[in-house]
Amino acid sequence: MGWLRELSAPFVALGPTGVAVRTRLKDLSPGDEEVLALVGAHLGSLASKDLRTRCADGLEHSGDTWAVRKRELTALSSSRWAGAITKATHDQWALARRGQAAHVQNLEAGVKTIEHRLSLPVGEKGSKRAPGGYRGKREWFAKARRLQVLQDRLDAVRADREAGRVR
């Protein structure tokens, strides 16, 4: 314990490695910028129409409907762009469905919590594991109204989910 270890020379740590993403291409002529803007607008409109079509398909989606959408897009762009657009559209729809499922779980948890607290007498103390009843009649009535709003919202989201609709 009587000796000190020798310190190394200080150094600068490198930053994180990864992919650098540029938002602008460099050294473009004004004509190139105009063409890129037009192509981007065209592909963006195709993507939004494809997403609308995919959402309208709902749960009735299959490989055949995917192929039809891709063929329609290929006529307006290229096969490569059509494939990229349909894949991105499907990914976006799937992400919306996952978000919708999480929203249903969140609403169910809120309804369950409020129902439990409404079932307890006003002013009852809670435990370490569960909250108690509401503090007063005013809060109890406000939460009873809130419960009705949440249940209506939950019913609407469940109906959308069963129908395959995403918003």
- Checking if the pLDDT of 15 tops 80, the result is no
Per the structure, the count of domains in the chain is 1
Question: Is 101 contained in some domain?
Answer: yes
Question: Is 36 contained in some domain?
Answer: no
Give me the helix-helix angle, 79-119 and 137-163, nearest 10°. 150
Question: Is 139 contained in some domain?
Answer: yes
Question: Is 142 contained in some domain?
Answer: yes
Question: Is 92 contained in some domain?
Answer: yes
Sign for the pseudo-dihedral over CA of 37, 41, 43, 44: positive
- Mean local confidence (pLDDT), 109-129: 91
- Checking if the pLDDT of 163 tops 70, the result is yes
Domain range spanning residue 74? Answer: 44-163
- Checking if the pLDDT of 4 tops 70, the result is yes
Q: Decide: residue 79, CB within 10 A, 0-12 exposed, 13-18 middle, 19+ buried.
A: exposed
Tokens coding 160 = 């959308």
End-to-end CA distance of the chain: 67
Tokens coding 50 = 């494809």
Token pair 């995917």: residue: 66
Is the CB of residue 85 less than 8 Å from the CB of residue 111? no
Question: Is 155 contained in some domain?
Answer: yes
Question: Is 73 contained in some domain?
Answer: yes
**pLDDT at res. 97:** 95
Give the angle 105-110-113 at the CA atoms, nearest 5°.
125
Determine which of 17-31, 46-60, 65-79 has the lowest per-residue pLDDT on average.
Answer: 17-31
64-108: pLDDT as tens digits: 999 999 999 999 999 999 999 999 999 999 999 999 999 999 999
Type of residue at 31: G
Question: Is 66 contained in some domain?
Answer: yes
